[in-house]
């Protein structure tokens, strides 16, 4: 699917994307007790923990069993999360503290933050919600003419 096709079929793709993304974000909001900033901070940490450059090509089943420590993680700290997200640094600090209390992230001696296996395990329901979202997008692309 190229940019021209996306633009030609925008209405169809947009409608399916908004519906699926809304369902996914509602799941995320429920799981994080309405705190989408907490969710966003964890997602940014997860993005660095499993960066496109370093993430192994695993099936979902393999991913569920692989240790987060087996992935070469990229450094991220409070300031880089704040800069990237636009969330104030103090808010990011409070959110990271909550995530550490839950055992979902760790901070090393250099103050770099990474996701943990506990986060992966306890957030499987949300990961599955993300898979459903991706399946809707895939279907929306493959059901188009000339796709």
Q: Name the DSSP class of 145.
A: T
Into how many domains does the chain fold? Answer: 1
Give the CA distances from residue 95 to residues 40, 59, 70, in Å, rounded to whole numbers and listed in that order: 10, 30, 25
Does residue 117 sit within a domain?
yes
Q: What is the pLDDT along the chain (147 residues), one digit of tens a residue?
A: 778 888 888 888 898 999 999 999 999 999 999 999 999 999 999 888 877 776 678 788 887 888 887 777 788 999 999 999 999 999 999 999 999 999 999 998 888 899 999 999 999 999 999 999 999 999 888 887 764
Residue 42 forms part of a structural domain: yes
Q: What is the number of other CB atoms lying within 10 angstroms of the CB of residue 91?
A: 16
Boundaries of domain holding 93: 3-54+74-142
Nearest to 143 by CA among 34, 29, 5: 5
- What's residue 4's pLDDT? 85
| 119 found inside a domain | yes
Any domain includes 67: no
CATH number at residue 125: 1.10.10.10
Q: Which helix (H) or strand (E) holds 60?
A: helix 60-65
Cβ-in-10-Å burial (0-12, 13-18, 19+) of 72 comes to exposed
- Judge whether 113 lies within some domain: yes
| Strand (E) or helix (H) holding 105 | strand 105-107
- Residue 19 included in any domain: yes
pLDDT at 146: 63
Q: Is residue 116 a part of any domain in this protein?
A: yes
Q: Is residue 63 part of a domain?
A: no
**3-state SS of 5-59?**
HHHHCHHHHHHHHHHHHHHHHHHHHHHCCCCHHHHHHHHHHHHHHCCCCCCCCCC
């Amino acid at each position: 699917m190229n940019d021209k096709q996306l633009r030609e079929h925008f209405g169809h793709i947009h409608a399916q994307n908004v519906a699926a993304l809304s369902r996914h974000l509602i799941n995320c909001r429920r799981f994080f007790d309405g705190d989408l900033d907490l969710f966003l901070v964890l997602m940014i940490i997860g993005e660095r923990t499993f960066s496109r450059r370093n993430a192994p090509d695993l099936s979902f089943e393999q991913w569920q069993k692989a240790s987060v420590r087996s992935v070469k993680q990229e450094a991220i700290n409070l300031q880089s999360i704040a800069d990237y997200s636009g969330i104030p640094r103090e808010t990011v600090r409070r959110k990271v503290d909550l995530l550490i209390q839950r055992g979902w992230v760790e901070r090393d001696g250099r103050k770099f933050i990474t996701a943990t296996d506990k986060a992966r395990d306890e957030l499987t329901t949300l990961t599955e919600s993300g898979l459903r979202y991706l399946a809707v997008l895939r279907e929306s692309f493959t059901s188009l003419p000339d796709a």
